[in-house]
Amino acid sequence: MDEKYIQFIIAIPYILIALMLFPLVYMCLHIVYSKSTWHIHFKIFFFVFGFFLCCRAADNIALGLLYVLEVFVENNTTVGLNNITFFDVAQEYFVTYRAAVNNAVKTTMMVITAERVVATNKRQIYENYKNIYLCAFIVILIFGGCYLIMEIQYIPNFTQPVYNIVLVCLDIPFPILFFFAFKKNVQLKCSENNDSKLSERYQINENVVLLNRVSSLVIIMIGMQIPLNIVNLYNSFDPYKTYPFISFMIYFGIRDLSSCIGLTMFYFNKPFSYFYQKLTKQKHTQIITVKPVISSSGKLKIILHHKKAVIKESDAYFEMLKRNW
């Protein structure tokens, strides 16, 4: 089969998968917006994450349409003095833009996790801490950082394989950070007691809920991103590239498909709950001791010594808050 027709056949599902991201992002953002108990910082960064996902999907749709048009339109018009066609120029532009936006997607996911790490370390006061200006500054840093990462590849003597190695290395710390944040909060939740402050218990519970909810996004998207980066790294070393555009469409199509699966699991609140339940399997039950005492009348009385016989008012309020998540 001719290479162009293979390109056309693969471009159709490539475009459809990218289109699926828009309604999924909208549904997830609606869920985040409707949760009044979730922290405003988490909401802001998740909305930024959804924005970058939509930008990446729009870029992939534009590239897919270019690939389809290239099959049916004979374009012999050259741009400049190097016999480069219009399709070559347009594809180069969208590929560069997509790389920058994808870095923004990954960086925003890391910022979401880092925000929960800060919430863990500052759990005594974080519930009432709100700084919109700081969030705006971090978003600006995301834009600037992704632009700098993109510009690295244009440094003299900085080859494409080296650039791909840098991207692989940048992805490694993220799953480690997420695992640390999740494990730390689960441990705190398991070790909390009735003497803990209400705000602290509230924050720990929020951290566990939010990290558990986004775990599907993190594990699927980053779990797919790392092996895909390794494959891309191998392709950059391969001097005999076969069907380069087709291989890239498959590469980015799989990445968008993993995003769709992660967003679907986030929307239906079906994360990797099995592993979460394994971590929190040991339920904290109050210890009850039985002590026999002989009364003056000679009858045996059973006195139940309860560590906390009366539930505090704050405990009841905390349970009410948990039901609202």
| pLDDT in 10s for each residue of the chain, 325 residues | 566 777 788 888 989 999 999 999 999 999 999 998 899 999 999 999 999 999 999 999 998 888 888 777 765 555 554 556 777 778 888 888 888 898 899 899 999 999 999 998 988 888 888 999 999 999 999 988 888 887 887 787 777 777 778 877 888 888 888 888 888 888 888 876 655 677 788 888 888 889 888 988 888 887 777 777 777 766 666 655 555 667 777 778 888 998 999 999 899 887 665 555 666 665 444 444 444 444 444 443 433 344 444 345 445 544 555 555 5
Contact 261, 219 (CB under 8 A): no
Q: How far apart are CA 252 and CA 249, in angstroms?
A: 5
Closest CA to 21 of 57, 63, 48: 57
Residue 301 in tokens = 């009385």
User: In DSSP terms, which residues pair with 292 in a beta bridge?
Assistant: 302
Q: Report helix, strand or coil for 37.
A: coil
Cα distances from 276 to residues 38, 190, 212, 267, in angstroms, run 20, 12, 7, 18
Alpha helices (H) along 122-243: 132-152, 160-171, 173-191, 198-237
Residue 54 in tokens = 């939509």
Q: How far apart are CA 317 and CA 225, in angstroms?
A: 42
User: In DSSP terms, which residues pair with 291 in a beta bridge?
Assistant: 303
Note if the pTM is more than 0.85.
Answer: no
Q: How far apart are CA 284 and CA 313, in angstroms?
A: 19
Cα distances from 213 to residues 185, 193, 206, in angstroms, run 14, 24, 10
DSSP state of 139: H
Radius of gyration of the chain (CA): 26
Q: How far apart are CA 205 and CA 257, in angstroms?
A: 31
Cβ contacts of 303-307, under 8 Å, gap ≥ 24? none
User: In DSSP terms, which residues pair with 261 in a beta bridge?
Assistant: none
- Predicted confidence at residue 56, as pLDDT, reads 93
Q: How far apart are CA 317 and CA 128, in angstroms?
A: 17
Domains and CATH numbers, the chain: 3-279 (1.20.1070.10), 288-323 (no CATH)
Closest CA to 87 of 100, 103, 73: 73
- Predicted confidence at residue 102, as pLDDT, reads 87
Residue 261 in tokens = 């699966």
Contact 108, 49 (CB under 8 A): yes
- Predicted confidence at residue 74, as pLDDT, reads 65
